[in-house]
Structure 1
Amino acid sequence: MTQFDHSRLSDFIDRKWDESVLPSLSEFIEIPALSPSFDPEWEENGYLDAAIETFISWIKSLSLERVSISVHRLKKRSPLLLVTINGDSEGEVLFYSHLDKQPEATGWSDGKGPWKAVVEDDWLFGRGSVDDGYGGYAGILSILGLQEQGISHPTCRFLIETGEESGSPDLELYLDELKSHLGTPDLVIVLDTGGMDYDRLWITQSLRGIVAGTLSVKVSSVGVHSGHGSGVMPSSFRLARQLLSRLEDENTGEILPEWLHSEISDDMKETSSKIIELKDGKIKDFPLLDGVKKQVENPLDIFLTMNLKPSLSVIGADGIPSIESAGNVLRTNTDLKISIRTPPGVDATKVARKVEALLEENPPNGAHVSAKMTEVANGFLAPDLPEKVASDLDAACVEFYGKPSMDLFIGGTIPVMAMLQSRYSNSKFIITGAGGPGGNAHGPDEKLHIPTAKKVTKCVSLAVKSFADYRRQNPI
């Protein structure tokens, strides 16, 4: 068996990033490959295709062995790229990333812009640099690093879509279309997250889900002068507020239904405590006005509430005129857009049905109430990696970062994670990436921390090697 050389891998990855990845990734940045939600004429504009072609050209410039490339196009669906590197050992690994981008945003620093690649110090600026253009490059390069030393690896497939920033509306269709080509991965690797610093590899263990939709409360067919009807006709706003109290304690913000909660394990609490210690007890500054207090004050409670507990937000309203145009009229209706973050492991579809029933049943004052949850996505809860793979990954982190990895719980939602986990329920997952403080994905001055991207590539390479070793020693 070929002896693996960590230093050789490190030098190779560093050199390839500098000489090969950065020039191609810079070319990618300059393409305004907006996700279809932000570019209705994406087909005519051809920018998504240009992004794919740029990535394919880079792959073809490499000395990869046993590689095949195919672009798939379902009618009226954004294209998807599938790259397969056939392995010479047991197992299958699926990498996921995306090439579509968020809109430009305003407020970029002087000399920088969304479609202008700028390398400054350790950073690569430009839209799509950290979200998620680098992901495919890092994944492919992690396998090339193994091949360069003659190290056996599993078959690795790279599923690279162009609709993630639009909510991945086409991915499920492509997963069905390509089912026979994708096989059944033992391991899924996603390079689209990051961590709380750049000092270690952060591995995402959970994401919250989301249940969002519209609560509509109607009380009359026309508006009525408040001098005539107030105190007699029920206020649709008061009734809407009353209905929300079925979900949330209006005094504390605590979510009331037990079915919206899940148990937070002792391991989760211990990991969260370690994260708090790393941050010296300080968890993210919130832009509260002077004198405004948080709903929870203890740093551990803040972290658990942000990432592992349910929450309710009212994010929009209809039926309420602006202050400038408001008359002394009892309004006919109040419509509220509500967004509920669900804990990892909770079935969001079941929650959506229960929320609708809870809000619609026994309407106060006989009001006409409808609750339609239209955005529903499960969270994500990572299964444990095989002990040897987890140990080898930690050793790689010590080798390349100088510190072991750290688990992370994230309060946001990435629908594609739940989609992949539902599809590949027996697979293991490694969700990580080069994102971190100051990366500013989606905003002005988006930027990739180049040294971290290199380290992530090296750690992923070692993880794939370890999984190959594990499968060889533990055949199915």
Structure 2
Amino acid sequence: MPDFSAWIDRELPRFHDELEAFLRIPSISTDPEHAGDVRACAEWVAEHLEAAGIPGAEVIETGGHPIVLGERTHAEDAPTVLVYGHYDVQPSEPDELWSSPPFEPAVRDGRLYARGAVDDKGQVHMHIKALETRLGSGADVPVNLKLVIEGEEEVGSRHLNAFLGDHAERLACDAVLISDTGMFSPELPCITTGLRGIVYTEINVFGPSSDLHSGTYGGAVVNPANALAAILAGLRDQQGRATVPGYYDAVRPITARERADLERLPMDEETLRAGVGAPALGGEAGFSALERLWYRPTLDVNGMLSGFTGEGSKTVLPSRAMAKVSMRLVPDQDPAQVIEAFEARVRELAPEGVRVEIKRSHGGAPWVADTDHPVFEAAGAALESGFGTPPAFVREGGSIPIVQAFEETFGAPALLIGFALPGCNMHAPNEWIDLEVYRKGIGALADLYGRLGNRLG
């Protein structure tokens, strides 16, 4: 395979300048006041795709923020790879916690700080520069490339599914390449092979028609806050396991290969504990922290509200109480079956004297890759060429529903290769990308485009 290091090292100062210009655009998709910035960012992406070797890149309307579509289909009878990413970013607040302004990129200790530096502008930019590097170095591109860069990932990809369906024939591909995940350390590249699904609910418990004086009525009227507390306590047992009937019936056991992958990782649970500032780690008994995060389902309270919450005291018996509860699911749990069983369990736990309503919010199925597919062999070789060590197969505790959408729409495997490092502050103040990882990652991706052509052809 060609060595792209010389080209990258020569052009790296320009790459950095371009990335910083990209990061200066406050493309905050959730804020209507930044709609113009989001559109300007889409146009920036299209312009730089063209400069990198994607002629005629388009900014396509969606009914929300636009999607950028670029196609380079010069390789006759060659396999097609679809690259997905997003150019929109999270809000920057609280701005006062940033060490430098969130949309004024700053380099400190080998890291580039700015909102979107790693989620996902920096990773999108790596793909653009990988194509430019390959072409600039005189190497062929033995795959057809299609790039879909959206502007609504941070608001739930509201128009992406419709876009994929409407353009399914145009976007047909043999593999989907997504860089919106992470690495375990700067020296250890990773391929993400599984994602947890999610079921999100809201439990509302209603008692009297209005708040009551807790002295006059307390003890005679069922308190919805007490009832909700009992329900929530009953949803988990002393071993940290959900008490929802059948919750674990479909959960796949951890395989020997997966345990070997875990043992290879430089994981220190004390570092994890200290990093999140918790007095101790916890969760389902009998499993390590990574096993709980990647291979086991969860049931967690995400928020609670009831009664008087202001300063001082008010002796009130609240008329209602609310809690938001999410469940992270693993293969082969079915979100539809889980929510039915969850609702039945909540009603079973509710005491007499209150009325319970359960609102269903968003959900998504878990995903796991077929790592025997040739794309994973190609990715492993490319990452080893870029970083000097074979990649680790890891999972992600969160959910990325668009992965399922791509696989179902195109019948093609999804390959998740990301370059975010632990502690990079995605969605938080002082987000950063490691510039050495950025450099190595461009080389690895440039190499990957060639290897995919060989393995999928």
When normalised by structure 2's length, the TM-score is: 0.90
Match for residue 162 of structure 1 among 151, 162, 165: 151
Say if 2:26 and 2:34, in contact at 8 Å, map to a contact too. no
Q: Is the 8 A contact 2:240 2:284 kept in 1?
A: no
Deviation at 1:328? 2.7
| Alignment partner, residue 414 of structure 1 | 400
Q: Structure 2 CA distance, aligned partners of 1:303 and 1:258? A: 25
Residue aligning to 2:59: 71
2:5 corresponding residue in structure 1? 10
- 2-side partners of 1:144 and 1:61: how far apart? 8
Aligned-partner SS, 1:459 = helix
Match of 2:47 in 1: 57
Contact preservation (8 Å) 2:180, 2:416: yes
Write out per-residue CA displacement over residues 197-245 of structure 1, whole angstroms, 9 at most, x where no aligned residue: 1102111111212211210111221333333433332222232233335
- Is 1:462 the equivalent of 2:451? no
- Pairing 1:247-266 to 2, within 5 Å after superposition: 247-249=235-237, 251-257=238-244, 259-261=246-248, 262-266=251-255
Q: Per the alignment, in what secondary structure is the counterpart of residue 370 of structure 2?
A: coil
Question: In the alignment, is the contact (CA less than 8 A) between 2:193 and 2:371 conserved in 1?
Answer: no
Secondary structure of residue in 1 paired with 2:163: helix
Matched, 1:47 2:37: yes
Secondary structure of 1:131 counterpart: coil
Inter-partner Cα distance in structure 1 for 2:12 and 2:170: 29
Aligned to 2:364: 377
In 1: Cα distance, 2:269 partner to 2:409 partner = 38
CA distance in 1, matches of 2:271, 2:281: 15
Q: Give the 3 Å change call, closer, same or farther, for CA 385–188 of structure 1 in structure 2.
A: farther
Name the SS of the counterpart of 1:260 in structure 2: coil
Query: Matches of residues 129-208 of structure 1 in structure 2 within 5 Å?
Result: 129-147=117-135, 148-183=137-172, 185-208=173-196
Matched with 1:330 is 317
Q: Call closer, same or farther: CA 1:94–1:228 in 2, change over 3 Å.
A: same
Q: Secondary structure at the match of 2:381?
A: helix
In 1, the alpha carbon distance for the partners of 2:12 and 2:418 equals 15
| Whole-Å separation in 2 of the counterparts to 1:104 and 1:23 | 21
Q: Is the 8 A contact 2:71 2:145 kept in 1?
A: yes
Please say if residues 212 and 375 of structure 1, whose CA atoms lie closer than 8 Å, have aligned partners that are also in contact.
Answer: yes
Structure 1 residue 296: Cα displacement: 5.8
- Are the structure 2 counterparts of residues 324 and 92 from structure 1 closer, same or farther at C-alpha, using a change threshold of 3 Å? same
* Match in the other structure for 2:272: 284
Paired with 1:464 and 1:414, the residues of 2 have a C-alpha distance of: 23
Residue aligned with 1:204, SS: strand
Cα 1:195–1:150, aligned 2, differ >3 Å: closer, same or farther?
closer
Distance 2:406 2:5 in 1: 31
**Separation (CA, whole Å) in 1 of partners of 2:125 and 2:197:** 28
Distance 2:92 2:73 in 1: 37
The alignment of Structure 1 onto Structure 2 pairs a total of residues equal to 450
Unaligned runs of 5+ in 1: none
Residues 255-293 of structure 1, C-alpha deviations (whole Å, 9 max, x = no match): 123543311331323322322xx2356551255565x56
**Structure 2 counterpart of 1:399:** 385
Whether contact under 8 Å (1:236, 1:333) holds in the other structure is yes
Secondary structure of 2:56's aligned partner: strand
Q: Within 5 Å, give how 1:331-350 maps onto structure 2.
A: 331-350=318-337
1:400, 1:465 → 2: CA distance? 13
Partners of 1:243 and 1:285 in 2: CA distance: 28
Which residue of 1 is the match for residue 435 of structure 2? 450
User: What CA distance in whole angstroms lies between the structure 1 residues aligned with 2:332 and 2:448?
Assistant: 25
Describe the SS at the equivalent of 1:248.
Answer: coil
Partner of 2:376: 390
Secondary structure of the 1:461 match is helix
Contact 1:97 1:159 in 2 (8 A): yes
Q: Distance in 2 between matches of 1:420 and 1:345?
A: 19
Give, in angstroms, the shift of residue 164 of structure 1.
0.8
1 CA distance for matches of 2:431 and 2:394?
A: 22
Identical-residue share of aligned pairs (%): 23
How large is the Cα RMSD of the aligned pairs?
Answer: 2.6
Divergent runs of 4+, >6 A: none
Please say if 1:24 is aligned against 2:18.
yes
Pair 1:271-2:257 in alignment: no
Deviation at 1:159, TM superposition (A): 0.5
- CA shift digits 1:325-347 (9 cap, x unpaired): 65333222211111222224433
Decide whether aligned partners of structure 1 residues 127 and 189 sit closer, same or farther in structure 2, where only a CA change above 3 A counts: same
2:406–2:412: 8 Å Cα contact kept in structure 1?
A: no
Partners of 1:188 and 1:354 in 2: CA distance: 34
Q: CA deviation at 1:26?
A: 0.9
Question: Where does residue 415 of structure 2 map in the other structure?
Answer: 430
Query: Is 2:244–2:345's contact at 8 Å kept on the other side of the alignment?
Result: no
Indicate if the aligned counterparts of 1:188 and 1:429 stay in contact, CA closer than 8 A: yes
From 226, 229, 252, the counterpart of 2:214: 226
CA distance in 1, matches of 2:231, 2:98: 46
1:208 is aligned with what amino acid?
R
- Is the partner of 2:419 in helix, strand or coil? coil
Matches of 2:373 and 2:240, distance apart in 1? 39
Alpha-carbon distance between aligned partners in 1 of 2:370 and 2:12, rounded to the nearest angstrom: 31
Contact kept? 1:101, 1:131, Cα under 8 Å:
yes
**Unaligned stretches of 5+ residues in structure 2:** none
